[in-house]
Amino acid sequence: MMALKTDYKDYIPPSGGRKYKITANSDGSSSVEDITQYQQVGDTWGAEDINQVNKLVNGAVYPNLLDNSDYKIAQAGYNGAHGSTGYLCDRWSKYIVTGSMTDDGMLLTPSGAGAWIIQYKLLTDTGLSEGDTVTLTVRVNGTVYSGSATLQIKSAAVDADSMVDTDDIRAAAFIPAGNTDQIAVYIVIKQTCTLTWTKLEKGSVATPYVPKGYGAELAECMRYYQKSEDDLYAVPYGGKSYIVHEFGVPMRVAPTVTLGYSPESREDQTASIYGFTVKFSGSSGLLDSWTASADL
């Protein structure tokens, strides 16, 4: 793509006006040449410049501020739990709705009125603040819907102004009154439908949805939740034994680590954003599972 010129100026002709030279051609036609000595000359603006600007405008994409926006990460399994909270999939907690992944996206089935999914993020992670204009876009049952609103503090999700409202869903973004350092994206599931993706962005214009990719989405989700893949065995030292595990991705804060079964007595455990350590009273130890949660 060419670099756009940046020295455009309005032309200023001399006080006597513009001058043209007319030349007779051999075929009987005439050519007209502008021979004015302009007092100010800038870059010319032509079709190529217009095409380049239009390409930039048409291709403008603003960052999606949501995690797991296409619902493909489910470390605890779809409809699993992160601690005591039910989750549709990573980063999306849920209420009286179940989901299953299909070729078209997340098939959602509510079991009663008032079913919803919701995602919370820290405002500092999004660059947003109260009073900003945000745009929410969803693809539901193959159709894309968008809406914009001013980000406001609301005491309850049901009080948030609708940004998208269809026969299938109602979606809104707001700041919870009880956690004013966060933003929530709240989607009411009115009836069985398929959500392919959801996008939240700053500003009043909906720009194209571009998937971040599985690896990037997984890394974002692992800042909030991680779980074991295999058994962990302790290493003996000084009559005790220890497991020192490093997280695949540093977590956003020191997580709550829940340990599974071990045949040896556990004396102590500590955790940081980088991993956790477990001390056993005997010379051997084993963990068959663990979870680490730093969810909001």
Quick: pLDDT tens for 68-81. Answer: 999 999 999 999 99
Helix, strand, coil percentages for the chain (3-state, nearest 5): 10, 45, 50
- Domain regions of the chain by residue span: 1-59, 81-221, 225-293
Provide the pLDDT for residue 229.
85
Q: What's the full length of the chain, in residues? A: 296
Of 19-23, 102-106, 150-154, the one with minimum mean pLDDT is: 19-23
Question: What's the whole-number average pLDDT of the chain?
Answer: 91
Q: What is the pLDDT of residues 119-142, one digit of tens each?
A: 999 999 999 999 999 999 999 999
Q: What is the pLDDT of residues 200-226, one digit of tens each?
A: 999 888 888 999 999 999 999 999 999
Q: Is 213 left (phi over 0), alpha (psi -120 to 50) or beta?
A: left
pLDDT greater than 50 at residue 2: no
- Residue 192's nearest CA partner among 86, 119, 105 is 105
Of 3-12, 109-118, 147-156, 287-296, the one with minimum mean pLDDT is: 3-12
Provide the pLDDT for residue 57.
64
pLDDT greater than 60 at residue 56: no
Q: What CA–CA distances, in Å, run from 64 to 154, 190, 199, 206?
A: 23, 25, 5, 11
Q: What is the pLDDT of residues 220-272, one digit of tens each?
A: 999 999 999 888 998 998 889 999 999 999 999 999 999 987 777 888 999 99
